[in-house]
Structure 1
């Protein structure tokens, strides 16, 4: 009986993820594979024109096989543009998420280490950043400084950095009061080694879950700014810019807008599901 009692919790702990999580894993994997293999998968360049098949419908609605998802107002293949848009949107989302996590975690560790005036300044900056509507800030910066891909990614990286700062500060203070961090300090380890080799690995699971929750928010922000014309600029393309261009042809050629919109919805939904699943798996208080 004891062996059965021990085996049952282990089986529950390592059971297969539910169907929804498996779908989310498969979709995210498909999007990553599409982004890495965009040059191989796309049948045409995203700027190639085919004016004879302008606004051609997709297959199943009277379209032709050479354009399976139809064409846009300039005869560009929607399927090819969708593939390259997935690459661009994921590049922006990954880059901005990493920038926000690195900035927020570094400032959180800084506040936890020095305390006092430094901590007060960091937390005041956190509160100030959280009080400003990010969309208004992004519109102001992009309208004043112009737009480039590097500036756009760095600007989106400022989204939700205060979330990482609060988490890193709180967990670093908690780790500092525990035995392992104090022992490392007493052995003469530098603050860089203490936080980088000992504190950070112990709080990484919480930060990873926070990143999975912020990732879909950045995708939606990129889509919204590109929809307004302040995101990715032509001739480059992204999911948001495809939706923005397709809105003018919603009644005549809805396939221009529906394909990238469906990808945005499924991608943000899948990443959110994975974030919730990781939180349940990595948080010991929920087991």
Structure 2
């Protein structure tokens, strides 16, 4: 093979990687952007108060089933506008999912760095906690905690934040040990940098891409877990509402008013699908073994 052919091949490989995004990823980003906009602008785009009742229009059909444009997605059993409740539910579910994902990632990374720095007994204790968390059925633990301590939004978010932290701990520990083996972390430490600076300013930025991909892959799990607990009545409590809460109430009217359950179910499926697709694409783009 000539030198010209080799140079052409090496030049076209990065060009292929820089090619445009697949259509599916563009659609996924568009949906995520729309959902984020709805969550941030919920107070301004809501056509009605999500708790406002109109008993004269209870169980009104949506537009695509012959209903009126005054309630595009119909109304529920109390005459509350489904679209208004859906908008507020999106904001609540995203707030819970974002908060829980950040708590889980922060806890896991901190324990992973702790295990990588001290090794020995500290590492064994952290890994024992990781194994215990991985073996514990989280849904049963969540049901027990919520039933015993009652429910509040802060407790609910913190509880969901305990789900999946062990994967971040494993990733952070392994990558931090790898960074120490590569020498740059040890070199910075020998120059007098504190452990906070070594891990916060040098190790963490180098493993951030892997952690971000892990967060995008775990985010849909949090949404589904919140939806499941709210469906069981242990999530967001009235008068608050979430996507799982709407599905839980809508199941009682599945035969008479399926649109109550249909709207939040479609949002849950599309949101989890979009975030999962984005996470898979980011993993392929950021994985150094594929470069």
TM-score, reference length from structure 1: 0.98
Aligned partner (choices 191, 196, 206) of residue 210 of structure 2: 206
Match status 1:277 vs 2:281:
yes
The reply on whether 1:232 has 2:236 as its aligned counterpart is yes
For 2:53, which of 49, 52, 63 is the aligned residue?
Answer: 49
1:222 matched to 2:226? The reply is: yes
Q: Which moved more, 1:8-17 or 1:60-69?
A: 8-17
In 1, Cα distance between the equivalents of 2:37 and 2:215?
20
SS in 1 for 2:63: coil
- Paired position in structure 1 for 2:133: 129
Aligned twin of 2:94:
90
State the partner residue of 1:40. Answer: 44
1:159 counterpart residue number: 163
| Partners of 2:49 and 2:208 in 1: CA distance | 40
CA distance in 2, matches of 1:195, 1:112: 10
Q: Output the CA distance in 2 between the equivalents of 1:195 and 1:163.
A: 18
Given the alignment of the two structures, is residue 18 of structure 1 paired with residue 25 of structure 2, yes or no? Answer: no
Distance 1:60 1:263 in 2: 17
1:1-16 to 2 correspondences below 5 Å: 4-5=8-9, 7-16=11-20
1:76 Cα deviation from its structure 2 partner = 0.3
Q: Distance in 2 between matches of 1:7 and 1:172?
A: 33
Q: Where does residue 201 of structure 2 map in the other structure?
A: 197
- Alpha-carbon offset, residue 178 of structure 1: 1.2
Give the aligned length: 287
Q: Distance in 1 between matches of 2:278 and 2:228?
A: 23
Distance, in Å, in 2 between the alignment partners of 1:241 and 1:63 is 24
Paired residue for 2:104? 100
CA–CA separation in structure 2 for the residues paired with 1:83 and 1:90: 11
In the other structure, the counterpart of 2:255 is 251
The Cα shift of 1:4 comes to 5.0
Instruction: Please report how far the alpha carbon of residue 8 of structure 1 lies from its aligned counterpart in structure 2 after TM superposition.
Output: 2.1
**Number of the residue aligned with 1:114:** 118
Listed as ranges, the matches of 1:175-190 within 5 Å are 175-190=179-194
Q: Does 1:71 align with 2:75?
A: yes
- For 1:267, the equivalent position in structure 2 comes to 271
Q: Deviations over 1:134-174 (max 9, x none)?
A: 00000000000000000000000000000000000010011
Q: TM-score, normalised by structure 2?
A: 0.97
Task: Kindly state the Cα deviation for residue 64 of structure 1 after the two structures are TM-superposed.
Answer: 1.0
Q: Report deviation, 1:10.
A: 3.1
Q: Distance in 1 between matches of 2:185 and 2:75?
A: 59
Task: Return the offset for 1:84.
Answer: 0.4
Deviation at 1:96, TM superposition (A): 0.1
Q: What CA deviation, in whole Å up to 9, does each residue of 1:173-212 have, x standing for no partner?
A: 1101112111101101000000000000000011001100
CA distance in 1, matches of 2:286, 2:8: 25
